Amino acid sequence: MTSPVPQLPLSVWLTAQKTSRWQRHGRYLPDSVRHPARMLPAIAAHAITTYTQPGDLVLDPMCGIGTTLVEAIHLDRDAIGVEYETAWASLAIRNIRHAADQGATGTATVHTADATRLTQLLPADMFGRVALVVTSPPYGPATHGQVKPEHGHGIAKTHHAYGDPHDRVNLAHAGRDLVDGFTQILAECVTALRPGGIVAVTARPFRRNGTLIDLPSQVVQAGVDVGLQPVERCVALLAALRDGRLISRASFFQTHLVRKARAAGVPMQLLVHEDVLILQKPHNAQMPSATPAGTRRGRP
Ligand SMILES: C[S@@+](CC[C@H](N)C(=O)[O-])C[C@H]1O[C@@H](n2cnc3c(N)ncnc32)[C@H](O)[C@@H]1O
């Protein structure tokens, strides 16, 4: 059932004053650049600082290389991550160990699993304890990735695609079922959240076969459908703000794509922000009962 998406207060987060490379330098293992769609560390850190206190529990059900978890434990919070692809889950574990070696005081665990089964993974005493969920869905099977000059001519694109294209459990390959899968994951997160707990989802509009998909609005609707209340719509800048002007940090491919589209008469804009949708579990929500593992809600 759908209901109109409400108008929400808006705030702007200065999250790209330093480039993504400098935000990660020394703090993440160099292999981390292999992931096709990492979150800017400053976005995760801003959400964690704004919506939690030291000692709180933070969850990322699609944690990739563990950005949310690493930032949480550096800020003295504890964290749980779930990631479907084994390669990214093991990189998340290594990034967490690296953070601990650097003095991070929180603790984090990573599950390699399908997050639509989240409540089957968590120990029952975790239900109703999570203060904040920070996550971002994959926007499609491929992203901009990295570019390198080819021998002789042209450029080669690397690290721009997720794993097995036939595996639709990976939401990157779910196509039109992306929002359904994401709604299921949000429903599982609601069980894990404490009353009053916050969900922060980063998303941006994208094109599927030329059609503009308003993913941020779909994320808000998904939250409403599982009983969350939308409280804020934020703009996390992917551009630096210097002397009142935005300095774009767009990749080669983003700029190239927009130039090509505009030359062909498509009025495409260069995006220099991510939407961050903030939703809240109602304070009067009932605490979930701790049912034994195996009998909890989840896909058969
Ligand atoms: C946009 S990326 C998140 C990146 C992450 N925030 C980071 O900074 O590394 C989305 C992640 O969701 C994972 N994913 C896709 N389907 C999933 C599922 N059903 N359960 C858990 N993770 C899933 C993908 O493998 C991918 O790593």
pLDDT per residue as tens digits for the range 127-169: 999 999 999 998 754 454 555 556 655 555 555 556 667 777 8
Q: Could you tell which of 83, 167, 219 is best to mutate to test the pocket of ligand 1, judged by most ligand atoms within 8 Å of the CB?
A: 83
Widest CA span of the chain, in angstroms? Answer: 64
Atom of ligand 1 nearest to the CA of 136: 1
Contact between residue 184 and residue 121 where contact means Cβ atoms under 8 Å apart: no
Ligand 1 centroid to 62 CA: how many Å? 4
Q: Are 133 and 198 in contact (CB under 8 A)?
A: yes
Task: Give me ligand 1 centre to Cα 61, in Å.
Answer: 8
Q: What is the pLDDT of residue 257?
A: 83
Distance 138 CA to ligand 1 centre (A): 6
- The alpha carbon of 284 and the centre of ligand 1 are apart by a number of angstroms equal to 31
* pLDDT per residue as tens digits for the range 67-76: 999 999 999 9
With cut-offs at 50, 70 and 90, classify the pLDDT of residue 295. very low
User: What's the confidence (pLDDT) of residue 298?
Assistant: 31
pLDDT recorded at residue 210: 76
Please state, in angstroms and rounded to a whole number, the distance separating the CA atoms of residues 190 and 195. Answer: 9
Q: How far does the centroid of ligand 1 lie from the alpha carbon of residue 137, in Å?
A: 6
Least confident of 5-19, 36-50, 187-201: 5-19
Are 99 and 111 in contact by the 8 Å Cβ rule? The answer is no
Which atom from ligand 1 is nearest to the alpha carbon of 63? 5
pLDDT level of residue 293 (50, 70, 90 thresholds): very low
Please state the atom number of ligand 1 nearest to the C-alpha of residue 116: 19
Query: Which protein residues touch ligand 1 with a CB less than 6 Å away?
Result: 35, 37-39, 62-65, 67, 82-85, 88, 114-116, 136, 138, 162, 169-172
Token representation of residue 53: 């206190």
State CA 276 to chain mean position distance: 9
> Does residue 214 register a pLDDT over 50?
yes
Query: In terms of pLDDT, which residue wins out, 23 or 208?
Result: 23
At residue 140, φ and ψ (nearest 5 deg) are: 155, 175
Q: Does domain 10-280 have CATH number 3.30.1330.10?
A: no
Mean local confidence (pLDDT), 203-232: 91
What do you get for the CA distance between the two ends of the chain, in Å?
Answer: 23
